[in-house]
Structure 1
Amino acid sequence: MSDARPVIGFIGVGLMGHGMAKNLVTKGYPLVIMGHRKREPVEHLKSLGATEAATAREVAQACDIVHLCVTGSPQVEALMRGPDGLLAGARAGAIIIDCSTSNPVSTLALAAEAQARGVHFVDAPLSRTPKEAEAGTLDTMVGAAPEIFARIEPVLRCWAGQVVHLGPVSLGHKMKLINNFVAMGYAALYSEAMAIARKAGLSIEQFHSVIGSGRMRSPFYDTFMQWSLNHDENAHRFTISNAHKDMRYLASMAGELGAVNPIQADVKNLFAAMEAAGQGERFVPMLADFVAGINALPPAHG
């Protein structure tokens, strides 16, 4: 490990963050992490050589580049602001990378606050699953000035197989919301199509025999269908509450833009209904069960 390498901070070592942080430390970067409510990932990363800080301010004081990988904008804002926040501890020239799926309005506001302190705030949200996070093959879409992107690209490539620089700050989060609308739209479409198929006398296996071997098949389809076909809850671990949050952010963005979004509104409301029914912590493929229930059918996996 070269002394010239920047010290990397990581806050949010959960389902996605643990694998990302693991790849950073095992690929030779000094790593400082902030304590997490689940101690297992923290202790594992410490066993690999990471050190632990108690607050976001302490992470910022020790690091050149800090990653945030938390639920959304309220959590990011809380970590950035206040006497124990990142901005209170970050030195001039430091870079904060928000890998969360955040509201672009918040992202632009935080970037301005950071700039006033000589700190760079950029967005690099993620695509794919915890499996790819562990493997270091996530996709990321980045909003950053060109010179800042050049500084962080080698770091991003420790945990990402595909890195797309879209342009200025906030374009990463805007594209991520659009990406998630496409994904959650597929989830809603598959769930409704399976329910109709079942009511028409077709089995899930028959549905899959056609869709899963034709042009409609995709990597998203492959992981989504593992619940309905094999009752595998670990293939696609993204919660209903997170999906609903992302769809709320996109609806807000569409409203600000004056965009017409009738399909997205229906997708958002389907996730809202499942969360309102007390199933927010279930994973997105389990939407098939919820839609089956609306149609007076038993769970899709039988």
Structure 2
Amino acid sequence: MSGNPQEHAAIGFVGLGMMGHGIAKNIVEKGYPLTVITHRNRAPVEDLLGRGATEAQTLGELARRSSIVFLCVTGSPEVEAAVRGPDGLAAHLRSGSIVVDCSSSDPNSTVRLAAELKAKGVEFADAPLSRTPKEAWEGTLDTMVGADDAVFARLRPILDTWAGKIVHIGGVGDGHRMKLLNNFISLGYGALYAEALALADRVGISAERVDSVIRGGRMDCGFYQTFMQFTLTGDRNAHKFSLANAFKDLRYLESMANGVGLVNPVGSAVKNSYAVAIAAGGASDYVPMLPAYIDRLNGGKVD
């Protein structure tokens, strides 16, 4: 970013969870005026206020202070609730503002919201995330952006504050479509690893012995390493992506496939692997804990 950041966009931020807190931290530390929404979880709010952010009591107040608003929430229902309604963003943003959805959302909802906001003179972009809260804090996330060229050009300096890899994938909705494809691949890995580890255990091959073959070989990758870190060391923080969020994204993927009439048997199988964990009460556990639920399906016990 060139020049004085204070002469640039005023940023609003909604959603200070595991990813959002780190993103917002990088935005304000790199000089952009930042307003965050009040929240019952005071820790991230107080941290950001200490770094120079200001706090809004309502979405309307946040919208009036901001020219670009980032949303980093659970999914489309939460995004829609933030945008719509008498005190939602749409009712208070000025013409020429931009709403950026960093959540993993349903592309159909994204396209509908973009059209609603466009009628009010407000632009919409989808910039979902890849990698983990660690990279969010370090400012090295990956993001795939759906936006027209002019909107992307306005967003690029802010994205540079928190992302190490930025891909302008296409128009509005394409970021979320690509995110679902990305998560299908990664969560598909997770389902394969879980079943392989459960089977290995049943035939007397330890996770450590499995890892000695996979790690450093052609089937090794960053996702495998953070997934296995929990299995090998019990580190719950190695890969903080909940089974509930995984299941939600796979349901969005299924909807996307249905929308174009694509038969996706592998996607359905992967989704059902995570459905097993959700049905067993594992919604708040993380993806690397899936092997225990696959084992439980086969008569074992979740630790």
TM class by smaller structure? over 0.9
Deviation readout 1:115-158 (Å, 9 max, x if unpaired): 00000011000000000000000000000000110000010010
Q: How many percent of aligned residue pairs carry the same amino acid? A: 55
For the pair 1:285 / 2:288, whether they are aligned, the reply is yes
Q: Match of 2:71?
A: 68
User: How far 1:2 moved relative to its partner?
Assistant: 4.1
Q: Match of 2:197?
A: 194
In the aligned structure 1, how far is the partner of 2:41 from the partner of 2:292? 29
User: How far 1:56 moved relative to its partner?
Assistant: 1.4
For the pair 1:227 / 2:230, whether they are aligned, the reply is yes
- Structure 1: where are the runs of 5+ without partners? none
For the pair 1:137 / 2:104, whether they are aligned, the reply is no
In the aligned structure 1, how far is the partner of 2:8 from the partner of 2:265? 48
Aligned partner of 1:241 among 228, 239, 244: 244
In the aligned structure 1, how far is the partner of 2:296 from the partner of 2:174? 38
The question of whether the paired residues in 1 share the 8 Å contact of 2:276 and 2:297 is answered with: no
Give the residue type in structure 2 aligned to 1:86: L
User: How far 1:296 moved relative to its partner?
Assistant: 3.5
Deviation readout 1:11-47 (Å, 9 max, x if unpaired): 0011000000000000000000011231100000001
User: How far 1:298 moved relative to its partner?
Assistant: 5.5
Q: Match of 2:114?
A: 111
Deviation readout 1:181-200 (Å, 9 max, x if unpaired): 11110000001111111222
Aligned runs of 1:82-93 on 2, under 5 Å? 82-93=85-96
Give the residue type in structure 2 aligned to 1:285: P
Deviation readout 1:207-235 (Å, 9 max, x if unpaired): 00001121111000010001111111000
In the aligned structure 2, how far is the partner of 1:190 from the partner of 1:2? 45
Give the residue type in structure 1 aligned to 2:22: G
In the aligned structure 2, how far is the partner of 1:36 from the partner of 1:224? 31
The question of whether the paired residues in 1 share the 8 Å contact of 2:276 and 2:294 is answered with: no
TM-score calculated relative to the size of structure 1 = 0.97
CA-based RMSD of the aligned residues comes to 1.1
Q: Match of 1:154?
A: 157
In the aligned structure 2, how far is the partner of 1:196 from the partner of 1:6? 53
Q: Residues 274, 2 of structure 1: CA spacing in aligned structure 2 closer, same or farther, 3 A cutoff?
A: closer
Q: Match of 2:23?
A: 20
Give the residue type in structure 1 aligned to 2:112: A
Q: Point out 4+ residue stretches in structure 1 off by more than 4 angstroms.
A: none
Give the residue type in structure 2 aligned to 1:185: G
Deviation readout 1:218-265 (Å, 9 max, x if unpaired): 000010001111111000011111100000000000000111100110
